[in-house]
Amino acid sequence: MPDPDRAAPTGAELLHNPQLNRGSAFPLAARRALRIEGLLPPVADTLELQVARVHAQIAMLDSDLQKYLFLSDLQSRNEVLFYAVLMSDAATFMPLVYTPTVGEACQKFDHVFHASRGLYLPITARGRLRELLGNWPQPDVRFIVVTDGERILGLGDLGIGGMGIPVGKLALYTACAGVPPQLTLPITLDVGTNNAELLEDPLYLGLRQNRVRGAEYDAFIEEFVQAVQERFPKCCLQWEDFANINAVPILARYRDRICTYNDDIQGTAAVALAGILGALRITGQKLADQRILFLGAGSAGTGIAELISQAMALEGMPIDQARARNWLFDIAGLLVDTRTDLALFQRPFAHAHAPVGSFVAAVEALRPTTIIGVSTVPKAFNQAVIEAMARINPRPIIFPYSNPTSRSECTAEEAYRWSAGRAVFASGSPFPPVQIDGKTLVPGQGNNVYIFPAIGMAVLATEARRVTEQMFIIAAHGVAEQVTDENLASGLIYPPTSNILEASLHTAARIAAYVFDHDLAGLPRPADIAAHVRACAYRPAYPGEA
């Protein structure tokens, strides 16, 4: 905890404090008193000029990984400038600080590591986690994104290299919804890794042991949760990129005890629901009329299926009938009720049907209106699958949501070309516009960035005690209702990412209203919820210049 009696830093120490450093934008009149006169060029910049300079510097770099590392270094030097850059052109910079670039950064984490950010809590520190949390300098943390690195995007077990995910996620909390960065904390729980390449790599920075499982792992998670509650009692915990065997039970264990959620399960589900709601404005159908087939039956697939089922139920359909309209397919084939290899969380979506061993055969048999890919199997939505969907549906809905781009089930061009331009398409990673028969089609990106920052801002603005499933359904509607007719005409079913801050604040206000309406808030209800949410939002500016 910062010492209140300690004098504010000056001189070189000030220039190395990312929260206080302004770099070349320190006013000339203040430099002498701050003991930085002579340590900077003699002409003072504005923040706007600094942003322009960073844009020019970024343009000189050859690869996205270089740009990621440049921005990471900027974040460790000058936090205000970092967020001013991100928020100056969110559509350009989001793919650089998060997917798809963050995947490569996580894979190469130990080889490109240059500055520590966040907290690393190893299982060797059992019994002392509260002490380690006390080393974090900010006394008030409202949001923690935590991973154990076992299932990073579609790349698998990257051990502590997964830290890039919490860091990137929290940067987007701020850039996309205005959550103040000083209230955020990225954490990696190091319980070992089963990645043999990492264990043999002399540069690997994590524990050199296989992953801890079972009761010992569960006790470590419990100690972590209790330590967070004691140290940061108003904190919301977001679980990120845990393997299914841990993600599902952790969420089940804590969702009704603390303010927590799992973005891979619930955020992915909400963004998929938002995409379907947007797509239905193109197809002219109703949600209750949809038949949805998933490739991938893990926590993401079942999470999406359950949230869609709950949304159907809110429109009057019995929940069992709603679940029966969602089918899942995994490496062993279609989930049917005669299979004996299914986990408990998969069973609500194992329906009565003959076994089906190939995905295209499942499409032909079930005649879905929508296919959703959460398998991380690249090119799984092949030409035969897309052409089958196009035969069955005038406007087939095709959502390859797996990240990063290298793991996408198909590209936008493939979906559009094989469906003769009729596909309603969205993907997890960005794809460029596609020309089909003289028309430009703009593929949407079903990125969780439309959901988790808005959830975060709503939790901050209300001091919500819980995060509920209904909040994610409301978030999905909040996103979908912002898609314009002009967007739909070009095939875009999500709001443009160029306007992500406004989109997130709108969605956050919708969620916040639900929190206040259902007595989940820790604050009194304001007269104008939307204005209250906006007032909570961080805007990058140097002190005295906001």
From residue 106, give the alpha-carbon distance in Å to each of 102, 103, 157, 167, 196.
6, 5, 10, 11, 16
How far is residue 276 CA from its own chain's centroid? 18
Binning pLDDT at 50, 70 and 90, where does residue 6 land? low
Residue 8 has pLDDT above 90, yes or no: no
Average pLDDT, the chain: 95
Give the integer Cα–Cα distance in Å for 303 and 326. 11
Residue 2 has pLDDT above 50, yes or no: no
Of residues 116 and 279, the one with the higher pLDDT is 279
Contact at 8 Å (CB) between 445 and 430?
yes
Which range, of 99-103, 163-167, 293-297, averages the lowest pLDDT? 99-103
| pLDDT tens digits, 369-407 | 999 999 999 999 999 999 999 999 999 999 999 988 889
The pLDDT value given to residue 206: 97
Question: Any idea which residue has 């792992």 for tokens?
Answer: 217
3-class secondary-structure state, position 371: strand
The stretch 226-238 carries a mean pLDDT of 97
The structural architecture, per CATH, of the domain 266-449 is 3-Layer(aba) Sandwich (3.40)
pTM higher than 0.85: yes
The pLDDT value given to residue 5: 53
The pLDDT value given to residue 1: 43
Domain extent listing, the chain: 1-45, 95-258, 266-449
Other CB atoms within 10 A of residue 14 CB? 17
The pLDDT value given to residue 430: 85
Which residue in 276, 270, 295 sits closest to 373, CA to CA? 295
204 carries an active-site annotation: no
Binning pLDDT at 50, 70 and 90, where does residue 516 land? very high
98 carries an active-site annotation: yes
Among 3.40.30.10, 3.20.20.140, 3.40.50.10380, 3.40.50.300, name the CATH number for the domain at 95-258: 3.40.50.10380
How far is residue 135 CA from its own chain's centroid? 26
Q: Which residues contact 206 (CB under 8 A, 6 or more apart)?
A: 122, 149, 159, 160, 161, 190, 192, 193, 198
Contact at 8 Å (CB) between 271 and 447?
yes
From 67, 68, 83, 98, the catalytic residue:
98
The stretch 451-466 carries a mean pLDDT of 98
How many degrees, rounded to 5, is the angle at CA 170 between CA 19 and CA 184?
55
Residue 157 has pLDDT above 90, yes or no: yes
Most confident of 56-65, 99-108, 398-407: 56-65
Binning pLDDT at 50, 70 and 90, where does residue 443 land? very high
3-class secondary-structure state, position 224: helix
Q: What percentage of the chain has pLDDT greater than the value 90?
A: 93
List the strands of the sheet with 424-427, edge to edge. 333-334, 326-330, 292-295, 370-373, 397-400, 424-427, 444-445
| pLDDT tens digits, 289-342 | 999 999 999 999 999 999 999 999 999 999 999 999 999 999 999 999 999 999
The pLDDT value given to residue 114: 86
From 68, 169, 494, 514, the catalytic residue:
169
Which residue in 218, 220, 239 sits closest to 151, CA to CA? 239
Give the integer Cα–Cα distance in Å for 371 and 386. 9
Binning pLDDT at 50, 70 and 90, where does residue 504 land? very high
Q: Which residues contact 344 (CB under 8 A, 6 or more apart)?
A: none
> What letter represents residue 340's amino acid?
T
Which range, of 123-132, 305-314, 439-448, averages the lowest pLDDT? 439-448
| pLDDT tens digits, 189-226 | 999 999 999 999 999 999 999 999 999 999 999 999 99
Contact at 8 Å (CB) between 141 and 119?
no
Within this chain, domains 95-258 and 266-449 share the same CATH topology: yes
Residue 80 has pLDDT above 90, yes or no: yes
Other CB atoms within 10 A of residue 517 CB? 11
Contact at 8 Å (CB) between 47 and 84?
yes
